[in-house]
Amino acid sequence: MFYSMFDTAYGTCGVVYRSVEEAGVVHIFLPGSKKEIKSRISILFPESKETTSPKIAEIITDITHYLNGTPTTFTTDLLDTSAFYPFQLKVMKTDWKIPRGKTATYGWIAEQIGTKGVRAVGNANARNPFPIVFPCHRVIRSDRTLGGFGGGLEMKRRLLEMEGVQFDSQDRVHSDHIIR
């Protein structure tokens, strides 16, 4: 296992991958301090070694551009999704379809994949190892509040605002920004 850390407008991010030659990205860490990201990587992937790889340069560039506010279309080709269970993969593929500047509720995601398990959708998003690429930050509660996010609610709101999502006076996502 290998990892690379890189600076963005929001802080340092990390990418963990299987091979320098073939990539196989297994985890993307949301922005934080260098110390925090390095610590989180060493806890979850203690055998990983820091290096650079031209194979993952594209995903690093895409994440950096996205966090700088540039509309970005991510590729999933380098992601190793083999650890996803089938339900989680359905959730991630549905999250992927939520466009920049829009949000969808956990209930809407559940409806799209044919389940009544709204909490299961939330749990699948909570276990998303590829935040930003699979945009779980665009999934909100039915009352239009943010719900949860691995990077914290402040980060979730910052990402949504950067994408053009607006909030009402009660800190709820404005209804114009919700897919129905």
Among all residues, which ones are annotated catalytic?
136
Query: What is the rounded distance in angstroms from the CA atom of residue 5 to the CA atom of residue 114?
Result: 38
Q: How are beta strands 49-50 and 2-8 bridged, if at all?
A: parallel
> In whole angstroms, what separates CA 104 from the centre of its chain?
15
Tally of CB atoms within 10 A around 38: 17
* Residues 155, 97: Cα–Cα separation, whole Å: 21
10 Å Cβ neighbour count for 118?
17
